[in-house]
Chains A and B, each alone.
Chain A
Amino acid sequence: MAGLELLSDQGYRVDGRRAGELRKIQARMGVFTQADGSAYIEQGNTKALAVVYGPHEIRGSRARALPDRALVNCQYSSATFSTGERKKRPHGDRKSCEMGLQLRQTFDAAILTQLHPRSQIDIYVQVLQADGGTYAACVNAATLAVMDAGIPMRDFVCACSAGFVDGTALADLSHVEEAAGGPQLALALLPASGQIALLEMDARLHEDHLEQVLETAAQAARDVHTLLDRVVRQHVHEASILLGD
């Protein structure tokens, strides 16, 4: 049996998308009441929850407090049933720790941390179902959750992945496309300024193609931004109706 054809001659991907198209994105803010902020996002079959606690006093050792800004604390965890093959542990493995660190870097760059010195902001993301692009989904969910918590940010952080197959850059890789083993790039973008909050690429890719892949990922991130912006406006609109304005 031949392997999967990631991009057909007619220009369709395995799931019927064209090269630059995103998967269907649906999101909701304010999923939980107990947390300070929360959000849920679906990017195709990748589903993630994010909750935010804080800013609050430093938990545990005081020594961790930063004199000039808030400490951003992130934990990534992914449900044991989220992947095709069952995972043994939801968090604490190498991959999850790395994801946590990446998220922390991303949000350190986006949250106006200097407004809350000596305090802590917790961002917890939980992947419920993984079908590729978990990092991107987590960042997007966390952005909404941070906004839901009312923590000031420089800008949205919008993330998207991109890959490269047969000379064409593909946006928003699904699990099958990731598993095929080609180069993948994860990008977190601050869309208003066009600044990059995080960039990571694995597998080798020739320099000449980098620009194309990067541009595809950036465009996809901007598309994500449009959608997230709509979600936030909708949420604010609903909230204001509830408040009875």
Chain B
Amino acid sequence: MASVALSEAEKVYIVHGVQEDLRVDGRGCEDYRSVEVETDVVSNTSGSARVKLGHTDILVGVKAEMGTPKLEKPNEGYLEFFVDCSANATPEFEGRGGDDLGTEIANTLYRIFNNKSSVDLKSLCISPREHCWILYVDVLLLECGGNLFDAISIAVKAALFNTRIPKVRVLEDEEGSKDIELFDDPYDCIRLSVDNVPCIVTLCKIGYRHVVDATLQEEACSLASLLVSVTSQGVVTCMRKVGKGSLDPESIFEMMETGKRVGKGLHASLQSVLHKEESLGPKRQKVGFLG
């Protein structure tokens, strides 16, 4: 994982600050850095979003492709995740260097989306057992400034919100062979409901306290963290402990409660940003990487 080298003195400084609810950049323990979200940044995808969280820079593209439903779920479509930790973020990721981290993040994403309530997969089915939409959610890590999981989950949610799937109809002739026909009107498309898509809140145990949205430096001071995926209703859908250290059960409950609380707030502000952007319609000036 991308990391920084810190001296012992620096670490002590950070740990002591957290103890006082005062972090190096001036935030409190439950404060996020400012999040920049922009959707529809890659025009040849079905949906895309770029999220900047401090120095962490994530680009997510969603591509809808036609495929066959999985055998065990004949009337559902499905999502595929892929995370590319590009060498842009750090030279360590050159070649196959980023693969391990990429796989780890992708697996986490699979886990939090492996849940009936998160996305309505039935709406992705075109004709049972034969055709469905597969949403390829591709995450591109461009710069790494700590708290990757949270940033990625926000970006995935924003990109899914932005996703538009063309409407198709299935034509069937007497022989039973099927043909797919696209609707003439490009405005006619399916939108996914993302109300129940969870976000990840990572809580970093630093000293005796925990912080949300840790920077790279703070991550370097933490031995263990708890990853909680929370829906906008504050429901925890998945939880995972990461890092080499250990946690006592009591602090886990504490951290979970914090996660729920912070997560609800995070969802609310994300939702409002997305709707605000949407209301601007096509007239919105796209910034992308130029601003």
Contacts and interface: CB of A to CB of B under 8 A. Distances in A.
Q: Answer whether A and B touch in the complex at a CB cut-off of 8 Å.
A: yes
Contacts of A73: 94
Contacts of B88: 32, 35, 38, 49, 51, 124, 126
A188 B236 CA distance: 54
Interface in B134-158: 136, 138, 140, 142-145
A40 interface: yes
B55 A34 contact: yes
B68 interface: no
Interface in A1-45: 26-28, 31-35, 38, 40, 42, 45
B140 A79 contact: yes
B63 A86 contact: yes
A172 B82 CA distance: 32
A128 interface: yes
A45 B44 CA distance: 9
A208 B48 CA distance: 46
A128 B86 contact: no
A185 B89 CA distance: 32
A40 B42 CA distance: 14
B61 interface: yes
Contact of A126 (B62, B136, B142): B142
A128 B87 contact: no
A95 B202 CA distance: 38
Nearest to A84: B44
Given A126-B140, A128-B42, A28 B290 contact: yes
Q: Which of A28, A34, A59, A82 has the most CB of B within 10 A?
A: A34
Given A35-B88, A80-B136, A129-B44, A92 B95 contact: yes
A31 B42 contact: no
Contact of B289 (A28, A80, A84): A28
B95 A75 contact: yes
A73 B94 CA distance: 10
Contacts of B290: 26-28, 40, 42
B276 interface: no
A225 B269 CA distance: 43
Contacts of B95: 75, 92
B16 to A, nearest CB: 26
Given A45-B43, A79-B140, A126-B86, A86 B65 contact: yes
A51 B45 CA distance: 24
Interface in B7-27: none
B243 interface: no
A49 B289 contact: yes
B105 interface: no
A131 B65 CA distance: 19
Nearest to B145: A34
A53 B87 CA distance: 10
B289 A124 contact: no
Interface in B51-104: 55, 57, 59, 61-63, 65, 82, 84, 86-91, 94-96
Contacts of B45: 81
A40 B59 CA distance: 14
A53 B289 contact: no
Among B63, B87, B144, which residue has the most Cβ atoms of chain A within 10 A? B87
A73 B87 CA distance: 12
Contacts of B144: 34
18 contacts: A26-B290, A32-B143, A33-B55, A34-B55, A35-B88, A47-B42, A49-B142, A51-B88, A75-B94, A80-B84, A81-B138, A82-B42, A83-B44, A90-B140, A92-B96, A124-B87, A128-B140, A129-B44
**When A and B form their complex, which 7 residue pairs have the shortest distance between CB atoms, in order from nearest?**
A81-B61, A40-B289, A124-B87, A80-B138, A90-B84, A86-B63, A81-B45
Given A81-B48, A86-B138, 9 more contacts: A32-B142, A34-B89, A42-B288, A45-B44, A53-B91, A80-B61, A90-B86, A122-B91, A131-B44
Interface of B: 42-45, 48, 55, 57, 59, 61-63, 65, 82, 84, 86-91, 94-96, 136, 138, 140, 142-145, 288-290
Interface of A: 26-28, 31-35, 38, 40, 42, 45, 47, 49, 51, 53, 59, 73, 75, 77, 79-84, 86, 90, 92, 122, 124, 126, 128-129, 131
